[in-house]
Amino acid sequence: MPNARYLHKLDPELAKLARPQDDLRHQPAPGGQMRDSLFWQVSMADEKLCLQVYFFATDDGNAGCNVCLWGEGITPEVVDFYSDTVPDDSDFSSVSIAGLTLHQDIHAQRSTIAYEGARLKLDFNFSGLHEPFSYHANADGLPGWMAANRIEQSGILQGWLEIDGRRVSLDGRIGHRDHSWGLREWGMPQHWKWLAAYTPDGAITMNGWIWIAGGERGVAGYVARDGKVSPITAIRDHTEYDAEMIQNAATMSIDYGAEQPLELRFETFSAIRFPSSKRNPITITEAGCAATLDGIAGSGQFETHWPTPYLDYLRGRKQAPEG
């Protein structure tokens, strides 16, 4: 089992961009606003299951979460959404909202997540395999419309989930988490791809983000392997979509300072799509994937963001009869 403290090391200067206290709640500047979001996920290609847990809260106490499980044999998929509030004195070291409980030990880089819903129950802890990585460590930086800062981290899980009475062990599984803070302008991106992938032993893990906004393109994320966490410098990608513009597969060649790029392949085993809204007319699609990282079989998650009117246009083109 990988050593959770730590399998891979981040350059000390880059590590300074993320501090342990960044996993706690952030306060806005005087007269300003703030939004924190925390996210955990694990994809299991052998079980053809993908789980994500997402929590957010604003400086005025509004909060919400979604807990989603999808994949083979999950009919229908679990997409549990909740709205709630958190007290002003909550610092996110411990949070309880609508059946979801989060605990964070920031100095141990360890979090514990438990949930009990109508069909889905879970209880697991997440321990980091490397220091948290800030997108400000990438040459393209982090656009202000996305967040003030965003940290990403690969980790190892211990625990379980239970769906419709079926229990699945998470012991030794590799997963991923992130925490971003600052107001997000959801309508600014013209498109993005967010991805996480890992080998079963954690020897290779990665997170990537490709964004297009205002006519500009950028990349962010890292590759962790050979005991080192390296910022991504470029991603060359091609994605295959079905008639509904759900991502079926993708190939990506990722530069990260090594002599050879990381060659990543995704094959979707199941996907879910979150509905658009009048306030945020964008569509997020999450795909649980089998992955290969330089030919080594693993698992991953591949997310796309589209402005909904443009997505509808693309779907219409794919579905229109030829001739």
Domain with 301 in it: 9-25+33-319
Instruction: Please report how many Cα atoms fall inside a 13 Å half-sphere around the Cα of residue 162, on the Cβ side.
Output: 11
User: Has residue 1 been placed in a domain?
Assistant: no
Q: Would 2 be classed as within a structural domain?
A: no
Q: How many domains does one find in the chain?
A: 1
pLDDT of residue 278: 86
Q: Are 233 and 139 in contact (CB under 8 A)?
A: yes
Count CB neighbours of 309 within 10 A.
11
* Residue 76, both tokens: 């229908």
Segments of the chain with pLDDT less than 70: 1-5, 322-323
Predicted local distance difference test score (pLDDT) of residue 5: 64
pTM of the shown model: 0.96
**4 found inside a domain:** no
> What are the backbone angles phi and psi of residue 237, rounded to the nearest 5°?
-135, 150
| pLDDT of res. 319 | 87
pLDDT attached to residue 323: 57
Tens-digit pLDDT profile for residues 127-169: 999 999 999 999 999 999 999 999 999 999 999 999 999 999 9
Q: Which of 70, 83, 66 lies closest to 286 in space, CA to CA?
A: 70
Distant-in-sequence, close-in-space partners of 54: CB < 8 Å, separation ≥ 6: 37, 38, 39, 65, 66, 67, 68
Instruction: Determine which helix (DSSP H) or strand (DSSP E) holds 276, and give its type and residue range.
Output: none
Query: CATH no. for residue 96?
Result: 2.40.370.10
